[in-house]
Structure 1
Amino acid sequence: MKKILFVCCAFSCSFFAAAQGWPDTVAHIEKIFSRYNSHTVPGAELAISRNGQVIFSKAWGMADLEHNIALTPQSLVEAGSVSKQFTAASILLLEQQGKLSLEDDVRKYIPELPDYGKVITLRHMMQHTSGLKDWGSVMDLAGWSRGTRVYSNEYALYVISLQQTLNNIPGDEYIYSNSNYNLQAIIVQRVSGLSLADFTSKYIFEPAGMKHTEWRSNFRKVVKDRAIAYSKGGGQNFLINMPNENAYGNGGLLTTAEDLLIWNHYYLSGKLGNPSLLPKQTATNKLNSGRTNNYAAGLMLDSIAGWQAISHSGATASYRANLEYFPEAGLSIAWLSNTSAFDSDTLNVSNAVRRLFLPVRPAAPRPRPAAVTVAPEKLAAYAGWYRDPRNNAGLKLYVKDGKLSSLFPTANLMAIADNVFMLGNNKLELGYKKGLLASAGPESIYYEKMEDVDANPKYLEDFVGQYYSKEAEAMYYMVLKDGRLLLQIKPTTTFPMNATYKDAFDCTFGPVYFIRDLKRGIMELRISVGRARNVVFKRVYTEAP
């Protein structure tokens, strides 16, 4: 049977957004989750605690549509990247046991990685500042996205070891990459002699009392009470969309909302490690520039709706998850779902539930400099394409209605001086070394101004050919058809290539930049996605069949 548990006296009405009574709050929760309240729809679990005491727990919807099995608070749902905090906690326990240090070079434990000329520490990996490319993103570029092959941590390591470059100098940027956590899972096994699954069972799950939690380290294993994950099909139909892979540590935790509350209370009350590892779990470090990085040990420390928060969300295949803790209110909220069908819904259930307990605190207004008028001839001189040196993405500026606007992203710029403009919270100094200098806080990036092109068929012919990547172990075919350049991944995938600045394009994946030799012509292309920059494809043939 589905369970609802609440303790009225455990929660003060002063935390309710509208000073409502507890029955009203429960009614609001039921309304928020009404979309799951059906025997024909996958479901969700919600559990809420205050100061370690569960005040609400319930499940809605179905765990298995084929066999008509309802979701219950004891149903195991995969928690996606919420899993990362358990991998990080394992590394911290090993450090406390004297078996490693967060300042160690990762190559001490994983010598298969290339020497990039810069030390990547375990701390860099834990806080996503290592620069290691996300192996799943590289496989996307190869046409083998996660779910199309049975990936393992060993295969993830193989892909990571093929990468010739990093996304960034270690410590320079925060770029989320699952590679960091698959490698940490491997390190746990190599250092402790136990798999991550066995290590966490012994040192975390059992001591904490998490009786309904385990890892999906073997996706073929029969798991009692596991909910099936579903995506939306055509009409009212659903499609099974499971993470059929053995890669874990980055994700892969099978758990319940109630067990996640047990975990929150366990580590937040200082019970993990002796002495408590809580200070290390929540410790953040600044980037090389001095800018704050809010990502700690698999935990995001930031403000949500004006409240201090420790949180993480998760998504793997069609499983969805969110775990939040608000120290000012002693409030934990855990949400799990076995469907991605409502990803585009305007109602975000986590936000809606949170607002029932924590009123939104308006942010203090940021002082904004006054706008100025810039002469039309100056605006015209600033128009054109600019290249982001990190990933070769193009930023186009153009004049519209007497104002400077941008394409990629589409926005209007506000002039605060003759050569200084605001693009959101970024300050652009135009004309800087004939390009522009983009600044956000202590960081500045120089964008080179690039040459515009007429992407006619004769120009596009230069790029036709076959390109092979050792990093992705994949072949791209650039073909010209009906006056358009197309990227093909055989047998069935084709993307249009949209010209930006000279030798650069944008496609479904992201920006593509071709490297040209003055004598030999186009030699290679570099393609970037959010978590994997500048994956190299070398030209092997000048024609594509």
Structure 2
Amino acid sequence: MGKVSGYICNQKNNMYRPTSKFYQVIIMGLLFSSLITRAYAQKRILFVTSNQEFYGNSKIAAANHFEEMVIPYHLFVKAGLTVDFISPKGGAIPIGYINSSDSIQKKYLYDAFFMDKLQHTLKPSDIRTDDYSAILYTGGGAAMFGVAENETIQNIARKIYNKNGVIAAICHGTAGLAYLKDDAGKSLYSGKKITGFPDKFENKKAEYYKTFPFVIDQAVKNNGGNFVYSDEGWDGFTIVDGRFVTGQDPSSASKMAHEVITLIEAGSPQIQKETTKNIDKVFSDWANGPDKPGVAAGLLKDGKIVYLKGFGSADVNHQSDITADTKFQIGAMSKQFTAFAILLLEEQGKLSLSDDVHKYIPQLPDYGYPITLKQLLSQSSGFADFSALKEIAGWRSKDVFTQQDALDLILQQKKLDHIPGTKFSQTASGLILLTEVVKQVTGQTLAAFAQQHIFQPLGMTNTLFYDDNQLILPNVARSYQVEKNGLKNNPINYSIIGTTNLYTSAADLSRWYLNFENPKIGSKKLIKKLTSPVTLNDGSSTYNPTAGRLLYGQQYQHAERGVPKIWTYGLEGGYASNIFVFPHQNVTSFVLGNNNRYNGGLTMNMAIEVLGDIFPAPARIDFNKLKTIKLTRRQLETYSGHYWDNENATARRVYVKNDTLHYQSSDGNNGDLLVPVSENVFQMVVDGDDVILVKFRKEGGRMKMVYTSGESDEYVHEAYTPIKHTAAALDEFKGTFYNHALKTTYTFSQNEKGLFTSNKNQPLISLSPIQADLFLSNSRNFGSVRFARDQQKNITGFYINSDRIKNLFFEKLNISHPGE
């Protein structure tokens, strides 16, 4: 850990002197990237700092000037810019000259996110110069040492400048310009006016001064520059000459930052300025909200960053601003990185999607069929969903839950829900197993493999799989639950990866999606595979739930008002994330939040700013213009009744009210209107562009209802007549039931509302009768309960069925048999 000096600037004597107090902090910068181009530029600024702890070889403590970092940082972030920090050696740097009575300095001094951001500065070798539109040399006595002579930093500054970037320096930071040359070896600022801390104001008798390797004034002149300064000093003296912006002393920090911002904005085309202005309006509800959670947003067009900005607070208690480099949990959006890792290993020849998973996880039971890695990726493996098993087993949402816990739940499954590769089911168990495959193939956990082979090469240094729930993450947005009576912390206590628990920032996601346009990690063939539909063993059948067609990247392809898009979302604790990709228009839009709010509307409104009017269908269906037919009440009544989807364990009711057909789910809402577009086909009235059709047909003398949303698969419901059990009849379903694999017990009881069940960790689950021995629960994962009987008609147990799990058997305990 580096020491931190305690120096302040004595304005009266225009010199630096040590204070009696010393501060210790660790300073870190995070690397982001995107492309700086004439059309769209990511607004990033690189701050250059020094590692020097002492003046020369003396024992006089040196430091980087806190104010000269904090004031520009504050103004740049406020303007929507992103700041990264480097030092010659990287890692910890000393800071000082801290004035805690200054409100802005105090804010950042006690801002955990800012101090965490500064925890380890980057090395010059880590920097991709195309990522930056400006470089700023910060001051303090430490700036006189180790920076100017660093050829890598010189090269970074030259490349940024050659791409129409800005070079800035303040106070002693101007020392970093001493040896700057152009590609021909001549001065980079020949004849230009440059300022910095003048030698006139140094205390030449002081020991610190005797350690200086050169005098700033003379070094600038020796390199062809025109060194100028204010004789008065401490008057905010700032010089702008071309794309060089320099400030004389700390009083110049604010003016210098504004001048840099002006130059960057001047280099942005009008179309980008207007787009940014319009997108800012999309987030008006979140702007200037230090007392409430918020969002970070990113927008890409044609492989370039159009927009990257944060709004609201990452930590309400400390009122820490959300920026483009604030970490968020992205929930199910994490799955794409697991899929990418597997496809990357396939491309490297280290595995094949046709491999049987038993090759890598031999402890898996033999189910009588091979289970390929492709089937794990395509959600056709036949494994029950581990998260459903977790809930049924009695785990609570706030319990600590590890990767091994998830793996154990999968390994305990004695049989599959179906023959692998013959049908699809909503299960994330395959991705958990694939994390174990990565570990067996590479010797690394998925977290370590992704860090080394995906995140680091792409510069995603603010991204990681969180596989240790006790790890303290820096620069992370807190998870909040927004309720009517205020905010609540909504902590996440599990450490499973593969399906969730990836933390990343808006800036890092930009780099990830830029890799899709011009792959640096993985080939174009891999990217194409990632965005291709999964299939069954037949090679043609695709999986099309209501979210859209499932892709190998665990995202969905779905038409947005007639235009193809790829999308997914993540909801985990208080974190909510959305991504929309319009592949034909090369537009990617995403929003990350810590406010437990679905951010799809924000994401789409941002995308529309660059998509324009490309949609053949309206944002909302005008049902007044929809071509419909007139059906009599008698005709409508033929479709009335109760319908049951045995595959997904859902019940629906269709009824006629005011001569209109209504569609009602099992939650008992008022029902959605159905308007007839043909004699047996109805369209659901929705507020949006989704075309939801409900079709009726008779098969074997029984009415069936078929539900589709857009291009989804058919959800088939069969008509049934609900039964009502008497209290006496319900008595035979009472009892205690046990599942050996889950080691879990459920007790069925009866109250005034009917049958219900519970275990020690779960809330009451109510059960509604569908058929004689079939009940529907009010819990999605518990699904339906079908009781089993022996030949004497005694209940021996029950099976749980849902869209995530099939035929999970619980045996009835204390069963008495005749003659015993």
TM-score (norm 2): 0.58
Q: Following the alignment from structure 2 to structure 1, what is the Cα–Cα distance between the partners of residues 580 and 705? A: 37
Give the letter aligned to residue 799 of structure 2.
R
Specify whether residues 304 and 22 from structure 1 end up closer, same or farther in structure 2 by C-alpha distance, changes over 3 A only: farther
Task: Report 1:108-187 matches (<5 A).
Answer: 108-148=359-399, 150-187=400-437
| Cα distance in 1 between the residues matched to 2:698 and 2:317 | 60
Q: Kindly state the Cα deviation for residue 402 of structure 1 after the two structures are TM-superposed.
A: 7.0
Match 1:51 to one of 284, 298, 302: 302
* Equivalent runs, 1:331-350 vs 2, <5 Å: 331-340=587-596, 342-343=597-598, 348-350=601-603
Tell me the residue number matched to 1:453.
723
2:557 to 298, 301, 309: 301
Structure-2 separation of matches of 1:231 and 1:432: 50
Distance in 2, Cα, partners of 1:273 & 1:491? 45
- Is contact 1:151–1:245 with CA below 8 Å preserved after alignment? yes
Which of 691, 700, 714 is the matching residue for 1:432?
A: 700
Kept in 1: contact 2:767–2:775 (CA 8 A): yes
Question: Does the C-alpha gap of structure 1 residues 10 and 467 become closer, same or farther in structure 2, counting only changes over 3 Å?
Answer: farther
Indicate how the Cα distance of structure 1 residues 36 and 173 shifts in structure 2: closer, same or farther if over 3 A, else same: farther
CA, structure 1 residues 115+390, in 2 after alignment: closer, same or farther (shift >3 Å)? farther
Cα deviation code 1:254-301 (max 9, x no counterpart): 211111111111133132235752222222244457346442223333
Q: Do residues 352 (structure 1) and 605 (structure 2) align?
A: yes
CA contact (8 A) 2:633 2:656 kept: no
Match of 1:194 in 2: 444
Q: How does 1:56-135 map to 2 (within 5 A)?
A: 56-135=307-386
Pick closer, same or farther for the CA change 1:519–1:256 going to 2, 3 Å.
Answer: same
Per-residue deviation, residues 48-105 of structure 1 (Å, max 9, x unmatched): 2323332222111222223332222222111212221211111111112222111222
Identity %: 25
SS in 2 for 1:199: helix
Q: Which amino acid aligns with 1:158?
A: D
Taking the aligned partners of 2:743 and 2:551, their CA distance within structure 1 comes to 32
What CA distance in whole angstroms lies between the structure 1 residues aligned with 2:673 and 2:564? 32
Deviations 1:468-503 (A, max 9, x none): 223543221111123622222226722332223322
Residue 240 of structure 1: how far off its partner (Å): 1.8
Separation of aligned partners in 2, 1:325 and 1:239: 32
Change in 2 beyond 3 A, CA 1:270/1:509: same
Instruction: Supply the distance in 1 between the matched residues of 2:637 and 2:795 (Cα, whole angstroms).
Output: 34
Indicate yes or no: 2:483 matched with 1:211. Answer: no
2:809 equivalent to 1:539:
no
Correspondence list, 1:428-507, <5 A = 428-432=696-700, 434=702, 436=704, 438=706, 450=720, 452-482=722-752, 484-490=754-760, 493-507=763-777
Structure-2 change in CA distance of 1:437 and 1:222 (3 Å): closer
Distance in 1 separating the partners of 2:812 and 2:291: 51
For 1:265 and 1:327, how far apart are their aligned partners in 2?
13
SS in 1 for 2:349: coil
Q: Contact conserved, 2:533 with 2:542, CA < 8 A, in 1?
A: no
SS at 1:310's partner residue?
Answer: strand
Structure 1: gaps of 5 or more residues: 14-20
User: Pick from 511, 514, 520: which aligns with 2:786?
Assistant: 514
Structure 1, 520-529 or 477-486: larger mean CA deviation: 520-529
* 1:38 CA drift (Å): 1.4
* Structure 1 match to 2:522: 273
Residue 579 of structure 2 contacts residue 603 of structure 2 at CA under 8 Å; is this kept in 1? Answer: no
1:523 aligned onto 2:793: no
Residues 535 and 378 of structure 1: CA distance in aligned 2, closer, same or farther (over 3 Å):
same
Change (3 A) 1:168 1:239: farther
Alpha carbons of structure 1 residues 526 and 90: separation in structure 2 relative to 1, 3 Å: same
Q: Residue 407 and residue 461 in structure 1: after superposition, are their counterparts in 2 closer, same or farther (change >3 A)?
A: farther
Quick check: 182-191 or 55-64, which moved more? 55-64
Does structure 1 conserve the Cα–Cα contact (< 8 Å) formed by 2:333 and 2:569? Answer: yes
- 1:178, distance to aligned residue in structure 2 (A): 2.6
Q: Which has the higher contact order (CA 8 A, sep 6+)?
A: 1
Deviation digits for residues 322-365 of structure 1 (CA, Å, limit 9, x no counterpart): 2333233332223211221x34x9x8321222232224613499
Give runs of aligned pairs for residues 305-344 of structure 1, distance below 5 A. 305-340=561-596, 342-343=597-598
Per-residue CA distance 1:18-38 (angstroms, 9 max, x = gap): xxx834752552452423631
Name the CA distance, whole Å, in 2 between partners of 1:406 and 1:377. Answer: 16
**Which segment is superposed worse, 287-296 or 348-357?**
287-296
Shift of 1:45: 0.9
Supply the distance in 2 between the matched residues of 1:501 and 1:9 (Cα, whole angstroms). 70
* AA partner of residue 503 (structure 1): D
Check whether the contact 1:45–1:60 (CA below 8 A) recurs between aligned residues. Answer: yes
Deviation, 1:244, is: 1.6
Q: CA deviation at 1:457?
A: 0.7
> For structure 1, which segment, 518-527 or 422-431, has the greater mean C-alpha deviation from structure 2 after superposition?
422-431
Q: CA 1:483–1:77 in structure 2 vs 1: closer, same or farther (change >3 Å)? A: closer
1:482 is matched by which residue type in structure 2? Answer: E
Gaps of 5+ in 2: 1-73, 82-263, 544-548, 684-691
Greater shift, 167-176 or 84-93, is seen at 167-176
Change (3 A) 1:428 1:152: same
Quote the Cα distance in structure 1 between the aligned partners of 2:472 and 2:317.
Answer: 16
SS of the aligned residue for 2:457 comes to helix
Deviates more, 1:432-441 or 1:508-517: 432-441
| Residues in 1 aligned to 2:753 and 2:330: alpha-carbon distance in whole angstroms | 46
| 2:495 maps to 1:246 | yes
Task: Tell me how far 1:239 sits from its aligned partner.
Answer: 1.8
Q: 3-state SS of the aligned residue for 1:82?
A: helix
Partner of residue 16, structure 1: none
Contact map agreement 2:577 2:593 (CA 8 A) in 1: yes
Q: Secondary structure of 2:375's match? A: helix
Question: Which residue does the alignment assign to 2:253?
Answer: none
| Structure of greater Rg | 2
Do the aligned residues in 2 keep the contact of 1:49 with 1:56 (CA within 8 Å)?
yes
**Contact 1:137–1:145 (8 Å) recurs in 2:** no
